[in-house]
């Protein structure tokens, strides 16, 4: 059985126009109906913030003497955060799409390298992390489990992760609630603003060195890159919610049309159905199919 064709915003809009009674919409009509797609994204985010398919993991790193890091641009709600540390820190010799060549002076062996994460904490590719699946002690080439988004090079500073320690999290509503000691040490707590799509995460201690930081969070669907070729996550969302998006665009097309009240009820029912399945932090489906790659 053939795999169904991957839906796109254009094919979704075309299906909505067929329901509307216009089987061959013009290019300008399709462009106009992108507002209907945006309406669906807005309605989903109005319904809630913890959609299973919007859970993401991103990596960043601390800056010495700076007690905060910037939140991801599509951040809306924090799940957890962890500090990454290790003793093997250096500048790479070079990189390739699925590997990185560690420093010539790196003295790690296979046993204490393979299976560990490697985080890029500076230079080209900063803010990425991968798992090492093979390490050649002669060439210092570490092969990773998934291709880099940005290939490291001779400017890339790496950290082989020995320890990943969860940070205590505290939600705050304004800056006056943030308690910082201004002592230099490894952070143990991160402060975050409630359902805030912008801003920084603040630590209780000012980092005494560069640490990797893993941030698990819910993203804002309204800020997703809608280029499905560049953003596989959005492509998966369109596949998962195709019926909902088609109905939503159809409702948008029915403005000032007598058919709209009935179709709006169908649309609202579809949102409720999706919410019952995916709008829970511990939804089992999360780990099965739509959890974002942690890279």
Phi, psi of 54 (to 5 degrees): -110, 10
pLDDT given at position 281: 52
Distance CA(295)–CA(290), nearest Å, equals 14
pLDDT given at position 285: 47
Q: How many CB atoms lie within 10 A of CB 229?
A: 10
Which of 146-169 are b and which e, b meaning 16 or more Cβ less than 10 Å from the residue's Cβ? eebeebbbeebbbbbbeeeeebee
pLDDT given at position 175: 84
pLDDT given at position 295: 42
pLDDT in tens, the chain (295 residues): 667 789 999 999 999 999 999 999 999 999 999 999 999 999 999 999 999 999 999 999 999 999 999 999 899 999 999 999 999 999 999 999 999 999 999 999 999 999 999 999 999 999 999 999 999 999 999 999 999 999 999 999 999 999 999 999 999 888 888 888 778 999 999 999 877 656 789 999 999 999 999 999 999 999 999 988 888 999 999 999 999 999 999 999 999 999 999 999 999 999 999 999 999 655 544 444 444 444 4
pLDDT given at position 257: 95
Distance CA(176)–CA(232), nearest Å, equals 39
- Look up the pTM and report it: 0.88
* Matching residue, tokens 């988004």: 149
Which of 52-63 are b and which e, b meaning 16 or more Cβ less than 10 Å from the residue's Cβ? bbbbbbbbbbbe
Tokens standing for residue 282:
């511990």
pLDDT given at position 283: 54
Determine which helix (DSSP H) or strand (DSSP E) holds 13, and give its type and residue range. Answer: helix 9-20
* Residues in CB range of 8: below 8 A, 6 or more apart: 228, 235, 238
**Residue 125 DSSP label:** T
pLDDT given at position 292: 46
Distance CA(124)–CA(120), nearest Å, equals 8
Tokens standing for residue 176:
């006056």
Which of 212, 243, 236 lies closest to 292 in space, CA to CA?
Answer: 236
Distance CA(193)–CA(77), nearest Å, equals 8
Pair 127, 57: CB distance under 8 Å: no
Tokens standing for residue 196:
């805030």
pLDDT given at position 197: 57
Q: Where are the alpha helices (DSSP H) in 212-255?
A: 232-240, 242-253
Pair 115, 195: CB distance under 8 Å: no
pLDDT given at position 182: 79
């Amino acid at each position: 059985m053939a795999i169904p064709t991957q839906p796109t915003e254009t094919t979704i809009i075309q299906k909505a126009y067929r329901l509307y009674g216009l089987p061959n919409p013009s290019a300008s009509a399709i462009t106009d109906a992108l507002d209907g797609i945006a309406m669906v994204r807005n309605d989903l985010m109005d319904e809630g913030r913890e959609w299973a398919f919007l859970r993401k993991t991103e990596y960043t790193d601390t800056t010495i003497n700076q007690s905060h890091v910037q939140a991801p641009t599509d951040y809306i709600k924090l799940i957890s955060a962890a500090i990454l540390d290790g003793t093997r820190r250096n500048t790479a010799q070079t990189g390739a799409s699925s590997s990185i060549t560690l420093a010539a002076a790196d003295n790690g062996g296979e046993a204490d390298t393979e299976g560990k994460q490697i985080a890029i904490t500076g230079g080209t590719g900063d803010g990425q992390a991968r798992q090492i699946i093979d390490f050649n002690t002669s060439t210092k080439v570490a092969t990773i489990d998934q291709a880099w988004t940005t290939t490291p090079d001779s400017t890339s500073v790496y950290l082989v992760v020995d320890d990943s320690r969860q940070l205590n999290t505290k939600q705050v509503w304004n800056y006056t609630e943030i308690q910082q000691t201004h002592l230099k040490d490894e952070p143990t707590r991160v402060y975050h603003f409630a359902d805030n799509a912008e801003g920084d995460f603040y630590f209780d201690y000012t980092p005494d060195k560069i640490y990797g930081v893993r941030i698990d969070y819910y993203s804002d669907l309204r800020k997703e890159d809608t280029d499905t070729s560049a953003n596989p996550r959005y492509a998966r969302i369109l596949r998962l919610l195709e019926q909902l998006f088609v109905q939503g665009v159809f409702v948008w097309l029915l403005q000032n049309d007598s058919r709209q009240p009935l179709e709006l009820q169908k649309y609202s029912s579809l949102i409720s159905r999706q919410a019952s399945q995916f709008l829970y932090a511990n939804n089992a489906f999360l780990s099965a199919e739509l959890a974002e790659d942690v890279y």
